[in-house]
A and B are shown apart, each in its own frame.
Chain A
Amino acid sequence: MQAILETDKLTKFFGGLEAVSSLDMAVYRGDIVGLIGPNGSGKTTVINMVSGHIRPTSGRVLFKGQDITALPPHLITRLGVGRTFQLNVLFNGMTVLQNAMMGQYVGAQMGDWEDIIPTRLTRKKEVAVQERAMGILESLGLSEFKDLDVRRTPHGVKRLVSIALALGSSPEIVLFDEPLGGMNAEEIDKTIGFLHGLRGKGTTILIIEHNMRAVMQICDRLVVLNYGAKIAEGSPEEIAEDADVIQAYLGSKHTIT
């Protein structure tokens, strides 16, 4: 079976520091794969390279067999790779709904001429953009926040809005960078439920997350990084008992619960 996303000896040097070292990783369609590791182990750098936001020093990224290593971020997104950001990077100053609508503009194929001279079709596209954005907000339970400036919403809502933005382009695979970071228990449960539902609709998920309980609960497979190198790969159960992983996270003589 061909992997939907593959990295081939993916390497990134920041100056003399090898942030990611010769990473081979494969993600198969419909899976939820967790990318875990201690702080500074290179997880976000991997996502940044896959989504085209930084260029690898060497190695390749393949999406459905196609080499996307040298493509700019917006083209990678248009091929079907969505992503979220670790920090709350949002369109501050716009409402929650406007944020969600931004995510829809590319898919709606609205031409720039239509901004100047709208046609009947333009109005239809605008309505469709708004409806789809509302649909995504509803599925994330954000309808009640839709008219708030996104800056004024609680942290958990911001995290969800960033998911709404990533889903705007109807991606086949989404790279989540710590989607649960800073959420309370209730929000975490809701978000996990949402991610399950997303996978149920056929979306593949690669997720970076520090919340181990959540990772163990939702991931089919885990890839563990330490100092930029892959130290283990397997099912959550296998990883929980992997001696190298325990060593990397906690030092010796501990188990992950």
Chain B
Amino acid sequence: METGKAVKGVAIAGLLAIMFLLPLLGLGRLYIYVLSLIFIWSIVVSSLRLLMLAGLLAFSIVGFMEIGAYATSLSMLKAGLPYWLGLLIGGVLGGIVALVIGKPILRLQSVYFFLVNLAFAEIISQVVIRWEKLTGGHGGIGGIKRPPGFESDVAMYYLILVFAVLILFVLYRLHIGRFSKILYGIRVAEPLEKSIGIDVAGYKLKCFVIICVFSALAGGLYAPLVQFINPASFSTGLMFYLIAYVVVGGQMIYAGPIVGTAVMRLLSTQLTKGIVYEPIIFGAVLILFSLLAPEGIAGAGITLSRKLQLWGANGLRWVSRG
């Protein structure tokens, strides 16, 4: 057990070191940019996964990403505020909206919760589209400036990497501890959990607010990276991409959705020269994974390593017998 922990620690440290060194090793601009996007989506899918532990699929986090992205951009462009303050405003606004809508919608169960979330994300998009004077409507907002000192793609890469590491660390801490057990308990035995004194509604709300704030921050990081946002950047289609990342990576373990995001994004960058084929390939991959590896890459990896260990142990037994 202790050696397993050590191995994990070394692996994570190694991965982080590689991530920090990649730009110095002369990685091309395209991949610097794609990796930056992967970090941002990793924040969003890992947040999505946290509430999935409680059996709730909060698609509205795409809407919260939109809130964060627009709040950050408009704070800079319309109010002339510095980026950092804009990012903060985006996060806080996301938190407040989550607090207000969370209370009523978290009373809903599974499918109903899912549908209301879908509707909420659509409402956010419609508000953005109709409030043309402020948001530019369908046309979106262009010319979003990057914060001073972070104008280059490499600098943005580091900025986003640092934020992603911090947020993913917080989500990881919540994942390994008591918090995720309480969320899991909500899914498997909600009445029992209430009966042992746990404020189930309170935990759902806390979790929802946390993931919405993180998604809003992800939106605030996305805007200056891409430098152009419009409602289509946060469409319903995007939500299904996120689900594809989670399914492909597997939701059983913490790293699953992150692995899924990385694999799918890199795959689509590598394989699809034009956007035309991307949905087809995505769909095919999604179907294949649902059929062949329903627990995703991470789940399949774990199964495989267990099998190998078993074979290894059996092999040793055979050898010692022989």
| Chain A residues within CB distance 8 Å of chain B | 51-53, 72-74, 77-78, 82-83, 85, 89-94, 98, 102-103, 105-107, 110, 112, 115-117, 162, 165-166, 168-169
Contacts and interface: CB of A to CB of B under 8 A. Distances in A.
Given A112-B179, A112-B206, A77 B184 contact: no
A110 B194 contact: no
B307 interface: no
Interface string B177-200: 111011011001101111111111
B188 A166 contact: no
Contacts of B198: 74, 102, 105-106
B195 A115 contact: no
Contact of B196 (A77, A98, A110): A77
Nearest to B210: A112
Contacts of B107: none
A231 to B, nearest CB: 28
Interface residues of B, number: 24
B197 A115 contact: no
B197 A72 contact: no
A72 B184 CA distance: 20
A53 B191 contact: yes
Contacts of B178: 105, 110, 115
Contacts of B179: 112, 115
B173 A106 contact: no
A107 B197 CA distance: 9
A115 B177 contact: yes
B101 interface: no
A85 B181 CA distance: 20
Nearest to B185: A91
Contacts of A51: 195
A234 B177 CA distance: 48
A120 B173 CA distance: 16
Given A91-B189, A116-B174, A85 B195 contact: yes
Given A85-B191, A168-B197, A169-B196, 17 more contacts: A74-B195, A74-B199, A77-B194, A77-B195, A77-B196, A82-B196, A85-B192, A89-B189, A90-B192, A91-B181, A91-B188, A105-B196, A107-B197, A115-B174, A116-B170, A117-B173, A166-B195
A166 B170 CA distance: 31
Residue of A53, A73, A166 most packed against chain B (CB within 10 A)? A73
Given A74-B199, A115-B174, A116-B170, A53 B194 contact: yes
A82 B184 contact: no
A51 to B, nearest CB: 6
B200 A105 contact: no
A102 B193 CA distance: 8
Interface in B152-175: 170, 173-174
